[in-house]
Amino acid sequence: MGRRLIALAILTFTLFTFVILPTEALPKPQQPKPQPQRPKPQPQQPKPQPQQPGPKPVVPPKPGVPQQPGPKPVVPQQPGPKPGVPQQPGPKPGVPQQPGPKPAGPQQPGPKPAGPQQPVPKPAGPQQPLPNQPGPQQPGPQQPGSKQPGSQQPGPQPLQQAGPNVLRDGLSLGFYAKTCPKVENVVADVVKRVSQRDPKLPPALIRLLFHDCWVKGCDASILLDATPSGQAVEKLSDRNGRTLRGLEVIDEIKTQLEKECPRTVSCADILAFAAREAVILAGLPRYDVVAGRRDSSTSRAIDADESLPTPKDDLKKIIGMFNQRGFSPEDMVVLSGAHSTGAAQCGQVRDRLYAFAPNVPRDPAIDPAYAADLTKKCPAQPPPGPELFMVDLDPTTPLKLDNQYYLNLQKKRGLLQSDQVLATDPGTVGFVNQLAGDNAGWSRKFVNAMERLGKVSVLTGDEGQIRLNCRAFNK
C-alpha cells in the first residue's frame, strides 16, 4: 500500500511536470507568430540591397517568401542571373566579353562583331554608320549595301582627291601648288593694283593672251623683243597694230615671281593667269586656269601677219581660222564678245566712215547717229606719225564685259566691220540674237571659251623653256 502511494505520487509529479505544465505554457507559442510578420518588410530590402546578410537566421521560418531561396546565401551576390530581372541583360557583369550573341542590346548593333570597340553610339542599324566608317570597318555585305544609303557621298570623294593635278591637254590644275604656291596671288595682286591706276588695262591683257595663243599657240612668243634668228618679232607685226599694252605688267609679275620661286613659273602661264584676273576685274566670274606651259624661243612677225584676223577679213576666212584651232562658229561669236570692252584705233574704222566703197563713202550697215559721233573722234585725215586716235569698241559699257556688245550689233552700232557682219550673216545672226537676250548664258560660255583658248597648241615638258626674262629667250 505504501509503495502504491509512492508510485502514485511519482506519477502525479510526472504528469504535473510533463503534461500540466506544458499545457499551461501553450499560449507562449503565440509569440513567434508576430515574428514572421516582422521580417515581411525586411525581405523587400534585400532586392535593392542584396549585400545585407542580416535576415539569414530568419530564413528558415519564412515559408511565404518564394523569391529568396533560403539555403543559398550566395545568391544575393550575383543579381545578374536572377530570373526575376529579365529586362536588364545589359548590366550583367558576368558576360562582358560576349556581346555578339545579344542582338537586342541597345548599345551594340547586331551585325557589328566589334561592338564594344566602335565609337558609334547610334543603334540605327548598319546603314547609318556607313558614311562615317567606310573601308575596313564595314566588311561583308555592308559595302554593296552602301550604294543605296551612301550614293551621294562616295561621289564627291574621288572628286576631292582629283581636284588638284587634273590633267588637261598636258596641263594641270594646281601645277605650282608645291613649287610656287603663291603664284596666282602674286598675279592677282599686281593686275588689280595696276588696273586701279589704268582702268583700261583688263581688255589689253585679254587681247594680249588672244594674240599670243593665236600665233603658234600659247607660248609667250608675243613677249619677246628679239630671237636667235634676228627676224622681226610678233609684237612688231602690223596685225598687232603696234598697240600692245600690258607688257610692263607681265614684266613686274615675272620679277616678283623670280624672287618668290626662281626659275619656276613660265611667262606663258603668267599670261594665262593675268588674262583670267582681267576677266574677273571686267565683271565676269572666276574660272580655273590650268598651268604647266613652257615658253618658246622663237617669235616672227610674219607668223602674226598670217594668223591674226583683221576687221576687213571675210567672215568665212575668220571662221576658218577658228576652226583650225578647235573653235566652232558659235565659239567665234562668243569670243568676239570680248569687244564689249577695250578700244580700237581710228584707222580700223576710218574706211567705214569716209571711204567704204566707190560712190558709197559710208557703210550703210552702221547707224547714222553712231557714225556721226564717230566722225567727231576719228577725223578723215589723221595726223602724220603713229595713230593716236582711239575709240571705244562698246560706246555703252566700255569698261565692262557683258552682252551689250550683241545689243549694239542689233542696233547697227558695232564699231568694226568684222563685228557688225555677225548680226547679218545667216550663219551667225542666230547666235547674236540668242546671246543678246542672255547675259548670264554668254558669261558662262565666254569664260569656258577663255579657258579653252589658254590651251591652244601649248608647249609642255621638255618642249620649251622657262624664261628668266619674259622679253628675252634663255641663252
Catalytic residues: 211
The total of other beta-carbon atoms located within 10 Å of residue 86's CB is 7
To which residue does cell 557703210 refer?
Answer: 363
Q: Collapse the DSSP code of 405 into the 3-class scheme (helix H, G, I; strand E, B; otherwise coil) and give the result.
A: helix
Please tell me the distance from the alpha carbon of residue 145 to that of residue 155, in angstroms, as a whole number.
Answer: 15
Cα dist. 316→118, 338, 384, 421 in Å? Answer: 69, 20, 34, 11
Return phi, psi of residue 342, to 5°. 95, -175
The answer for residues whose C-beta is within 8 angstroms of residue 41's C-beta and 6 or more apart is: none
The total of other beta-carbon atoms located within 10 Å of residue 50's CB is 15
Residue 140: all three cell numbers together: 561583308
CB 281 within 8 A of CB 188: no
Q: In angstroms, how far is CA 416 from the centroid of its own chain?
A: 41
Return phi, psi of residue 420, to 5°. -65, -30
Residue 338: all three cell numbers together: 570680248
Cα dist. 302→218, 220, 238, 284, 308 in Å? Answer: 17, 16, 10, 34, 10
CB 299 within 8 A of CB 222: yes
To which residue does cell 554668254 refer?
Answer: 442
Strands 167-168 and 171-172: antiparallel
Structure letter (DSSP) for residue 17 = I
